[in-house]
Structure 1
């Protein structure tokens, strides 16, 4: 497999010819409908061979193929780094890392549920069914078509997890969380309601996503998760949690990584939204910051309890003289199509391992876009392997990113829990 960066003058035909690989297969893997390409666009070429081109070196081929120079040299019986134009190089089969992936999806129609579970079940051990929200009384909302989502997940051998949030129409509510956690009666009611939901609807467990928990509720939150696990674990149900990123104890002080890691089966670290709708433009999931988070996390909880959460999206900020006027989330496909539409090259930050570009719309407004692509995703997958984590997961499967599943297949062997 290669990740090829489109250059000026490239076409699908010329790229297919360069790699001596079927054009239709390149189109399929990259989800391309329009044959138009834009400079800087990352394309996966799913070939195990490479024909040396003028200007190539083992290093540049190594960068494209994500295979170390020494490995390339050994696999091809090379005694030196000298290459000849036209030489055919073989890429050794990548050793796949065993992982348990967790990705979220929002159940909609029966057709969408079946399509999502069928398409993504080979790449996930867990589906986070999103979402049930709590009330101030410790009750749970309903979720349309959740029974169908559970059945479909289990039919495809993926463990369905009921995602429980503190989300309200106004956003995540730390105040409601405070009220619930500070009342033993309400807290116990919520635990009982979660247990009943899981048992009656045949979930495999729970994924608790309480966001913006305050420092004052830090120990109460850990205690709540411990009590919840004590209720679920004896019957074989899983307790998992979604966590904000932390690089130090002072970041998101309402979350005790060490305490939480000790009382749950695993944690999904939401390694995205370093920049989002309410910030200025910038990388969504910069690899340098992700590594700092993991350096902190693995000192406080077992590596085999950590799932790295990655985005299937980016943001498009509308600017006015350097000031953000508005912003919207866009899928990876939408971001790439926007660059094509406005015929602007895609740049790539080596530091952050994320693509970006700017454009002017029809109304004369400047936009800045940062998003995820195959290069960025491969860097994150390699990080999962390097840190020996439990797995990787995504928010969320309704956002189109066709290259992602191919990369999962190349990097990982999916372990099954049911």
Structure 2
């Protein structure tokens, strides 16, 4: 398999002919709903034989196939780097890294639940079922999740109950402060989480408290430690989602003590995304340099075998007015590509950030800027997981369509199963 970037005047027919694969195989592996393509769109090509094209080099083929130049040389008995157009090169399977997959899922209809679980169960160890939110008195909201939990377990994935500090107005640091600073409420919340997990047949919990203030830093780590001490004796997992952090000097992230959190829990899901989002100017959602710095910072505070690298299945579409953001919305990877197709604008790719982007004008003349994740960007993050020997990789969230992602996960890793 390799990643092909669509060029001007390409078609599925011409690409299939060029690499001697069927058109249906290209459509199926990339989840294409139409044969329309745009320059800059990336496609997975399902073959282990690469036919050299004019202008190719071992370096460019290595980048496309995610295989080192030395490995390509070795398997093809190449004595020099000179390539001739039409030459066939064997692309050997990548060595697989044994790791865990951890993805978030939201309950839906029984039919949609079944489709998503059966599609993604083979590449996931854990599903975080989103979400229960905490109440002022330490109680928990309700969630219609029984059918989904049963389905997840039948497919050999461990379900984790996601507990958040979400309120109707967003994540609430005030609610978290009240719960963490009041011992009886904090203890009640721990008891309620324990009872929820035990009564509903969850494998554990995923705590996703966002916008924690610095004043609650130690209280939050202590809460996680107490929760873990309550759950661990019965074999339940305690996991936590934390925002990406690259240093100790970022004021709004000082509430997250990576060292204390890492010591308290079994799994740390690092949300390595949203460097740019709806409230920011346009830019890359998950730039590779910042993701790398986040991993390196985390490894200075906790063991790699606790870290799940969280990656996005989405991007953002910013609507601009007079050079500033008028509005913005999240879009799935598939929606981002379909929008580029609709307006027939080429997709560009930032090698600095390892993220695709493009601009277009809508029917009313408004300018839009879109940054998102694609197969090239995902491959780079999977390689980071391998290079840094992390526990695994995870995604927000499975309802966002990104058909190439699961194929790439299988290229890089063998998912561990615990049930």
TM-score, length-normalised on structure 1? 0.99
Displacement of 1:250:
2.4
Displacement of 1:59:
1.2
Q: Deviations over 1:332-363 (max 9, x none)?
A: 01100100110100000001100000000000
Displacement of 1:136:
1.0
Displacement of 1:402:
0.5
User: 2:281 is matched with which residue?
Assistant: 280
Q: How far, CA to CA, are the matches of 1:117 and 1:82 in structure 2?
A: 47
User: 1:233 is matched with which residue?
Assistant: 232
User: 1:2 is matched with which residue?
Assistant: 2
Q: How far, CA to CA, are the matches of 1:149 and 1:308 in structure 2?
A: 24
Q: Deviations over 1:13-32 (max 9, x none)?
A: 11111111111011100001
Q: How far, CA to CA, are the matches of 2:82 and 2:325 in structure 1?
A: 50
Q: Deviations over 1:109-145 (max 9, x none)?
A: 111111111110001000000000001100000012x
Q: What SS is found at the alignment partner of 1:15?
A: helix
User: 2:97 is matched with which residue?
Assistant: 97
Displacement of 1:86:
1.3
User: 2:332 is matched with which residue?
Assistant: 331
Q: Deviations over 1:127-166 (max 9, x none)?
A: 000000001100000012x111110110000000000000
User: 1:107 is matched with which residue?
Assistant: 107
Q: 1:293-308 counterparts in 2 under 5 A?
A: 293-308=294-309
User: 1:73 is matched with which residue?
Assistant: 73
Q: How far, CA to CA, are the matches of 1:249 and 1:188 in structure 2?
A: 29
User: 2:362 is matched with which residue?
Assistant: 361
Q: Alignment RMSD, CA only?
A: 0.6
Q: How many residues align?
A: 417
Q: What SS is found at the alignment partner of 1:416?
A: coil
Displacement of 1:380:
0.5
Q: What SS is found at the alignment partner of 2:162?
A: strand
Q: Deviations over 1:359-393 (max 9, x none)?
A: 00000100000001000000110110011000000
Q: How far, CA to CA, are the matches of 2:381 and 2:333 in structure 1?
A: 15
User: 1:269 is matched with which residue?
Assistant: 270
Q: 1:396-411 counterparts in 2 under 5 A?
A: 396-411=397-412
Q: How far, CA to CA, are the matches of 2:238 and 2:413 in structure 1?
A: 24
Q: What SS is found at the alignment partner of 1:196?
A: helix
Q: How far, CA to CA, are the matches of 1:52 and 1:275 in structure 2?
A: 38
User: 2:347 is matched with which residue?
Assistant: 346
Q: How far, CA to CA, are the matches of 1:232 and 1:357 in structure 2?
A: 47
Q: How far, CA to CA, are the matches of 2:309 and 2:378 in structure 1?
A: 12
Q: How far, CA to CA, are the matches of 2:303 and 2:110 in structure 1?
A: 38
Q: What SS is found at the alignment partner of 1:108?
A: coil
Runs of 4+ residues deviating >4 angstroms: none
Displacement of 1:307:
0.2
Structure 1 residue 42 and structure 2 residue 42: aligned?
yes
Q: Deviations over 1:24-48 (max 9, x none)?
A: 0111000011100000000000210
Q: How far, CA to CA, are the matches of 1:112 and 1:395 in structure 2?
A: 17
